[in-house]
Structure 1
Amino acid sequence: MSEPSDSFRRLLAERSVTVTDRQLEQFELYYRELVDWNERMNLTAITEKEQVFLKHFYDSLTLSFYYPLDKVNMLADIGSGAGFPSIPLKIMFPHLRVTIVDSLQKRIGFLQSLAETLGLQDVECVHARAEDAARLPAHRDRYDLVTARAVARMNVLAEFCLPFARTGGAFVAMKGSDPAEELREAGFALKALGGEFVSDHAFELPHDGSGRHIVIVRKTKPTPGKYPRKAGVPLKLPLTGSMSTK
């Protein structure tokens, strides 16, 4: 019976993505660290090795199938949790300068330790709410690519993520279910925040058959200064065309 890492390597090869021995070692170490830390804090409900390699590592890398990461220098991952998708992307694309924003200090501690253990350079972990971090000059309108994986609905995600992206950059949302309805209700938010819907790529995870969507939004102009609103407001009052946005 083959190791999950062997299947992982074969699946990526089918997408013309080559995994080096060193990168495979990093993923193996990532798995061990994830399971170890998960015994002390809640990082993931998925701990079986084959499932971690498929539903976390491979799933994170699917972003690279639909967006050209060779043209990305600075990447921000909002609400990364246990490091998905940014850490797998950093392993496979070492040139990326990664900033991870998460509101829970314990997760930030895990991610900082993980980056050090894996020998990853240019990984900054920021303990903050997305709404607060996006107002800081160090992060606002700065990143080539901003991503979030299964964090919230699109109209909320847009307010979390688009303020981080530079004009000409992109926000990419990784979704499990069909986002068509979310995209319809997010039309006003995208326009208000300086974004423009580009594409929705639908596919299934191999072996598992779970549906996935990669939603790409282009940042066409700077986000107005009144966004994002105060921490907690986007979730309670998502931007819609029928509301006041003061």
Structure 2
Amino acid sequence: MEISAYKGLFEENGIALSAEQAERLEKYADMLVEYNNMVNLTAITDDEGIAVKHFLDSIYPFTLFDLPEGVSMIDVGTGAGFPSCPLKVYRGDIRLTLLDSLNKRVNFLQSLSDTIGLDAECVHGRAEEFGKKDEYRESFDIATARAVANLTDLCEYCLPFVKVGGLFVSLKGSSGSEELDKAKPAIKLLGGKTEKVVEYTLPGGDGRTLILIRKVSPTPAKYPRNAGQMKKRSLS
């Protein structure tokens, strides 16, 4: 997709991209398609799909609430860098950490960060392990994740990374509100409180749900549990 088309798409949705930002997103798309031939990063490889369902879908929800300057953010299970890498292109002030359990994806993210100038810390590891490490636990203003698991499990993976007073920003599909109802006991147990829920649609009609969960008290030390324990006994 040409730079002018990126700018036009975002302007139609109330977001002003500079030519330089659009150029970096274009390079991101090229790298995504290229690496996808070697590593399974995404099923969406057409220009418009990448622009709308990856880039706009990553940036737009973060315009629906106040995102302060210079926040520290960890993207948990980030995969090919969504939502935080497109957001970092748009908001260069964010201090970004990318966490993923597959080393091949982390290698892509490091190459992406170096090529388009994200200055991101790219970390290979599992959320349930890193959420207990002193240098990561309750160390971030924001943790985010885009639809990598059900909301109950996502809260257990992500809230341990968030400072008291910070936010877990969950980007879900059209069933997000239903997941939120099931996740309420877990949110309370893990030190969170639901602050805002926004339902919206992408160009093309796909439904999305933005869920903001404020960290109001420390997460008990036993969380996050390992994947086996989580599967055996859900917090919902």
**What range is the shorter-chain TM-score in?**
over 0.9
Contact 1:134 1:163 in 2 (8 A): yes
Tell me which residue corresponds to 1:243.
Answer: none
Is the 1:74–1:97 contact (alpha carbons within 8 Å) kept by the matching residues of 2? yes
Counterpart in the other structure of 1:100? 98
Name the count of aligned residue pairs: 236
- For 1:224 and 1:124, the matched residues in 2 are separated by 26
CA distance in 1, matches of 2:153, 2:16: 35
Counterpart check, 1:113 vs 2:122: no
| Contact 1:8–1:54 (Cα < 8 Å) also in 2 | no
Which of 56, 61, 69 in structure 1 is aligned with 2:67?
A: 69
Contact 1:201–1:215, Cα closer than 8 Å, also in 2: yes
The answer to whether the Cα contact below 8 Å between 1:147 and 1:161 also exists between their aligned partners in 2 is yes
Give secondary structure in 2 for the equivalent of 1:69: coil
Q: Structure 1's 4 and 50: CA in aligned 2 closer, same or farther, altered over 3 A?
A: farther
Identify the residue that residue 184 of structure 1 maps to in structure 2.
181
1:244 is matched with none
- Alignment deviations for residues 122-172 of structure 1 (CA, whole Å, 9 cap, x no partner): x11111110001111111111111110011111100000000000110001
Q: Does 1:194 align with 2:191?
A: yes
For the 8 Å contact 1:72–1:144, the answer to whether it is kept is no
User: Residues of 2 paired with 1:67 and 1:198: CA distance?
Assistant: 11
- The 4+ residue runs of structure 1 with deviation greater than 6 A are none
Q: Report the Cα offset of residue 181 of structure 1.
A: 2.2
Taking a change above 3 Å as real, the CA distance of residues 60 and 232 of structure 1, as seen in their structure-2 partners, is: farther
TM-score, length-scaled by structure 1: 0.91
Identity level (%)? 44
Give the partner amino acid of 2:230. P
Counterpart amino acid of residue 13 in structure 1: E
Which residue does the alignment assign to 1:222? 218
Alignment partner, residue 126 of structure 1: 123
CA displacement at 1:64 relative to structure 2: 1.5
Note if 1:135 corresponds to 2:136. Answer: no
Structure 2, unmatched stretches of 5+, are none
What residue number does 1:234 align with? 230
1:1-43 CA-partner distances (Å, limit 9, x unpaired): xx46434322322444221111111101101100000001100
Contact 1:177–1:211 (Cα < 8 Å) also in 2 = yes
- Does residue 30 in structure 1 map to residue 28 in structure 2? yes
Deviation at 1:213, TM superposition (A): 0.7
Partner of 1:39: 37
Counterpart contact for 1:144–1:170, Cα < 8 Å:
yes
SS of structure 2 residue aligned to 1:163: helix
The whole-number CA distance in structure 1 between the counterparts of 2:63 and 2:231 is: 30
Q: In the alignment, does 2:167 pair up with 1:170?
A: yes
1:50 has 2:86 as partner? no
Unpaired segments of 5 or more residues in structure 1? 241-246
Inter-CA distance 39–88: structure 2 relative to 1 (3 Å threshold): same
Q: CA deviation at 1:187?
A: 1.2
Code of the residue aligned with 2:17 in structure 1: it is V
Q: What is the SS of the residue equivalent to 1:186?
A: helix
Instruction: Supply the distance in 1 between the matched residues of 2:135 and 2:126 (Cα, whole angstroms).
Output: 15
Match of 1:210 in 2: 206
> Quick one: distance in 1 between partners of 2:63 and 2:83?
13
CA distance in structure 1 between the partners assigned to 2:37 and 2:227 by the alignment: 30
Tell whether 2:9 aligns with 1:8: no
Deviates more, 1:212-221 or 1:6-15: 6-15
CA RMSD of aligned residues (A): 1.4
**Secondary structure of 1:167's partner?**
strand
Name the structure 1 match of 2:87: 89
What corresponds to 1:17 in structure 2? 15
